Amino acid sequence: MTVSIAHLGPSGTYSEQAAIAYRDRLQQEGQETALHPYPSIPQTLKAVAQGEAQIAVVPVENSIEGSVAVTLDMMWLLDTLQIQLALVLPIAHVLLSHAQSLDTLQVVYSHPQALAQCQLWFTQFLPHVQLIPTNSTTEALQHLEREKTAGAISSLRAAKLYNLPVLASGISDYPDNCTRFWVLSRQSSTVGSHTSLAFSLPANVPGALVKPLQVFAQRNINLSRIESRPTKRSLGEYLYFIDLEGDSHNSAVESALTELTAHTEILKNFGSYKVVLLNQNN
Ligand SMILES: O=C(O)C(=O)Cc1ccccc1
């Protein structure tokens, strides 16, 4: 049976690069696979939640810009997705354009994460250029043929794929730019070094967040990330997304998760998984 892997498209995105790395792992195990590009991150996740695809590979956090909010929000909403693996991909942005020189550029298109990761570079070298968000780094490339004074931030892989000229490279604001992707499916996750969960609080009162956090501290469980997102019910009310070091089959983590139910309103366990560092050529 062919395993279908959904990712943000069109072809050439960083998400596709992470999906290819995952596909290669499955192929080494003798699995048949097929990649399926989707126009947005929510559509990629819904495809798996609705059973249209079996696996989704989506960005969750970038070392410069932080969380991909839409991924966290959809994980909470969809409820059924479990993390199978985390992939950390180095990100090297280039500026692509048919323009002859940088100073003729008027607009630059890209995914909001890519625009944000290069904002200092644009402030310094192209302060008057208009930055326009697109659904993905490769969707941005569709503008270049018709708009000769437009640029797009994408990868060198995408430049080669679409045969587009590179106007500038090394444009990320910090050299160690990398993005963490989650590999998700509806199957329950297995084992690994990390566990991710999210919860809402029973009441907005002093100390409400201390209690769930103490559950981990008392058991010497290290948290590797904590992120809040609005509940969207009322201003100032939040959901908390937590990554912890440990597997949910480990007895300390297991008992922490049990006790956590007493200090949270809704608790969602997204599963335990391994973290794999990819290199640029993956
Ligand atoms: O648009 C893409 O190529 C994506 O996969 C989203 C993204 C954008 C910038 C850095 C990492 C992921």
pLDDT of residue 79: 87
pLDDT digits (tens, 9 = 90+) for 98-148: 999 999 999 999 999 999 999 999 999 999 999 999 999 999 999 999 999
2-90+178-188 and 93-169 share one fold? yes
- Rg for the chain (alpha carbons), in Å? 20
Q: Per-residue pLDDT for 97 more than 70?
A: yes
CATH number of the structural domain 2-90+178-188: 3.40.190.10
H/E element holding 57? strand 55-62
pLDDT, tens digit (0-9, with 9 covering 90-100), for 4-35: 999 999 999 999 999 999 999 999 999 999 99
Q: Does any ligand 1 atom lie closer than 6 A to the CB of residue 44?
A: no
Whether 13 and 114 have beta carbons less than 8 Å apart is answered as no
Kindly give the distance from the C-alpha atom of residue 137 to the centroid of ligand 1, in angstroms, as a whole number. 6
Give yes or no for a contact between 198 and 281, defined as CB atoms under 8 angstroms apart.
no
Residue type for position 170: G
Q: Give the pLDDT confidence score for residue 204 in this predicted structure.
A: 87
Digit-coded pLDDT (tens) for 151-202: 999 999 999 999 999 999 999 999 899 999 999 999 988 889 999 999 999 9
User: What is the domain class of 93-169 according to CATH?
Assistant: alpha beta
Residue ID of nearest Cα to ligand 1 atom 9? 114
CA 219 distance to own-chain centroid? 29
Burial 159-189 (b: 16+ CB within 10 A, else e): bebbebeebbeebbbeeebbbbbbbbbeeeb
The residue with tokens 């996740």 is 45
Q: List the domain boundaries for the chain.
A: 2-90+178-188, 93-169, 194-272
Cβ–ligand 1 distance for 7 under 6 Å, the answer: no
212 sits in which H/E element: helix 210-218
pLDDT tens for 207-232 read 999 999 999 999 999 999 999 999 99
> Tell me, what's the ipTM?
0.97
CATH for 194-272 is: 3.30.70.260
Q: How far does the centroid of ligand 1 lie from the alpha carbon of residue 265, in Å?
A: 33
In terms of pTM, does the model score above 0.90? yes
For residue 281, name the pLDDT band (cuts at 50, 70, 90). Answer: low
